[in-house]
């Protein structure tokens, strides 16, 4: 990685802040939306099961339907798109489509796949494991999504302030998926407010407490 690329990566991370006001009426070009979603889908995940589903809401009528579910937070209606990040509670079912082609192509031995299958399905007998993995891995994808959006010149805001029960009902979310967060995406109408950060001395512990 060149120094210039390293610099750009850190610049994107430093400049990403949550935006509450967007330029209304701006529509994301299809190719930009696909770039953002592709980057999100390339996030790391436990067993590479890719425990996420993205519900993209661009239609203004649907954003208006979502607005009261998100307690009237106006960035929902003003943004170019709202991406609901959902965690997959049955990500163990992804094992075959993820690893099957690798076995067929000769890149993975069948016995290794069988071993992984036993490990994954054994873990998923515990509902708490399924829930924890859904949240953990979908959150990794969420952060990657926001950084990708910033790299393309867009701003975002991750939102946990909404009624997940109403969201599931109104948008027909299958039981398999757990709402993790809403992410608004668009062009900022006003710059994000600066936010304070704890110093490294306050957040880093070395070796042991």
Average pLDDT over residues 111-132: 97
Span 38-90, pLDDT tens digits: 999 999 999 999 999 999 999 999 999 999 999 999 999 999 999 999 999 99
Q: Where are the domains of the chain?
A: 25-202
pLDDT band at 1 (very low <50, low <70, confident <90, very high): low
8 A C-beta contact, residue 49 and residue 123? no
CATH 3.40.109.10 at 25-202, yes or no: yes
DSSP 177-201: EEEEEEEEEE-BSSPPPP-----HH
- What pTM, to 2 d.p., does this model score? 0.95
Best CA proximity match to 149, nearest among 123, 187, 182, 191: 187
Say if residue 83 is exposed, middle or buried (CB neighbours under 10 Å; 0-12, 13-18, 19+).
Answer: buried
Mean confidence (pLDDT) of the chain: 96
E strands, the chain, where? 52-57, 81-88, 155-159, 177-186
Instruction: Report the pLDDT value the prediction gives residue 55, as an integer from 0 to 100.
Output: 98
């Amino acid at each position: 990685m060149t120094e210039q690329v390293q610099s750009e990566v850190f610049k994107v991370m430093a400049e990403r802040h949550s935006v509450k006001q967007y330029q209304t009426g701006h529509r994301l070009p299809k190719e930009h939306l696909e770039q953002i979603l592709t980057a999100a889908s390339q996030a790391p995940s436990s067993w590479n099961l890719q425990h996420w589903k993205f519900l993209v809401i661009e239609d203004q009528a649907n954003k208006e339907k979502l607005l009261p579910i998100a307690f009237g937070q106006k960035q929902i209606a003003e943004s170019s798109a709202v991406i609901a990040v959902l965690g997959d509670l049955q990500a163990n079912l992804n094992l075959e489509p993820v690893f099957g082609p690798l076995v067929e192509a000769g890149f993975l031995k069948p016995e290794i796949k069988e071993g992984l299958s036993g490990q994954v399905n054994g873990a998923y007998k515990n509902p708490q494991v399924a829930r924890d993995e859904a949240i953990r891995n979908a959150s990794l994808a969420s952060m990657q999504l926001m950084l990708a959006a910033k790299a393309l010149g867009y701003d975002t805001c991750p939102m946990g302030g909404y009624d997940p029960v109403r969201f599931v009902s109104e948008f027909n979310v299958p039981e398999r998926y757990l709402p993790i967060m809403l992410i608004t995406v668009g062009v900022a109408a006003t710059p994000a407010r600066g936010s304070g950060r704890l110093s490294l001395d306050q957040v880093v512990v070395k070796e042991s407490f």
